[in-house]
Amino acid sequence: MRTEHRCWVYGDNVNTDVIFPGRYTYTLREPREIAAHALEDLDPDFAPNVRPGDVIVAGANWGCGSSREQAVTALKFAGVALIIASSFARIYFRNCINQGLLPIIIPGLNTQLRTGDTLVWDREAGTISTQGGVYPIPPLPPSVQAILDAGGLLPMLQRRFRQGEP
């Protein structure tokens, strides 16, 4: 399947405090409420204008700082389909997998695109294509890919506990 996606492009070291501010972290739990604050302190245009299927294309160390998982779920609830970055902070990377949101490492792609540009995700070929080129999606270890394939860690656990495994 090949799908076309609109890009939101950001720089290096975007931290979770600006992706989802800490001041909301213990009081908001509804997906719509959480999505409404996505990227609030970095890009106030994002939350009101993001559309389902849009993708984030960022620089190095996307999602550094606090472990807060809402920095992933806020984007997921806002409809973001993929996050591409030059590199990810480690807890953020894990949170993406666990939320079933594919994190893709393509160094420097953010410097070739602007917000509003489109890219193509080819699932069968395992590539991302832009006007500038075709980039392979790096494979994940099989045990990690299995979590993504299950739709995230929660669905995986649900399957296990519903089947009554130990």
Partner 1 sequence: MAGRTFAEKALARAAGVPDARAGDILDVTPDLMLSHDNSAAISQIFRETGAAQVVYPERIAITLDHAVPAPTTRHAQNHAEIREWVRQQGIAHLFEVGRGICHQVIAEEGLILPGETVLGADSHTTHAGWLGAFGAGVGRTEMAALWATGQLWMRVPDAIRITLSGRLARGVTAKDVALHILAALGPTAALYRSVEFAGDGLAGLSLDERPVLPNMMAEAGAKNAYLPPDDAVFAYLEPRRTRDYTPLYPDPDAEYVADYRFDLDSLAPQVALPEQPDHVRPVTDVIGQPVQQAFIGTCTNGRLDDLRAAAQILRGQRVRCRLIVIPASAEVMLAAAREGILDTLISAGAAIGTPGCGPCMGNHMGIPAPGEVTISTGSRNFRGRMGTPDAPVYLASPYVVAASAIWGTITDPREVLA
> CB-based contacts of 124: which residues, under 8 Å, 6+ apart?
1
Cβ at position 10, least distance to partner 1 in Å: 13
Question: In the complex with partner 1, which residue's Cβ is closer, 116 or 141?
Answer: 141
Q: How far is the CB of 82 from partner 1 (least distance, A)?
A: 19
Residue closer to partner 1 (CB basis): 55 or 87: 87
Chain residues in the site for partner 1 (CB under 8 A): 13, 15, 17-18, 21-23, 25-27, 29, 40-42, 60-61, 64-69, 72, 87, 89-91, 94-95, 98-99, 141, 143-144, 152-154, 157-158, 160-162
Contact (Cβ atoms closer than 8 angstroms) between residue 82 and residue 110:
no
User: Least CB distance from residue 76 to partner 1, whole Å?
Assistant: 12
